[in-house]
Amino acid sequence: MVEKTVLQSLDYAHIAVEYASDKLASDVLLLDIHEVSDFCDYFVIISTDSTRQLNSLAEDLEHELERRGSFKHHREGTPQSGWMLLDFGDVIVHIFGPEMREFYDLESVWHDATEIVRLQ
């Protein structure tokens, strides 16, 4: 019998960070927001260099996290808008194109969150 490992939300957040880094995303940030939010525990914030990379990374991250056992509740945004959100319940992944990360400035909005990982 094969034993299935149950992952926690922080595990899924780390998987997203590592996967984005492996796919050459830039300025990958993992924030613990559970003390300041009642709708999720972790934000993964990622920058990409192009619309094409944004789309590819969103698709690949969805498949990877679902393959590992996470369930995507919904997706928002489009590659052409420069921002996409992947909602996995306790983990929300924000993927930004070149200009939109600065525009939304989530790090400032969630300044009380705890930074867990930052890969530049």
Q: Which two tokens stand for residue 64?
A: 């990877």
pLDDT tens by residue, 58-80:
999 999 999 999 999 999 999 99
pTM: 0.92
Write down the mean pLDDT value for the chain: 93
Query: Is 111 within 8 Å of 37 (Cβ atoms)?
Result: no
The yes or no reply on domain 9-119 and CATH 3.40.50.2300 is no
Nearest by Cα to 47 from 113, 101, 9: 101
pLDDT tens by residue, 21-48:
999 999 999 999 999 999 999 999 999 9
Confidence of residue 88 (pLDDT cuts 50, 70, 90): very high
Cα(88)–Cα(85) distance, rounded to whole angstroms? 10
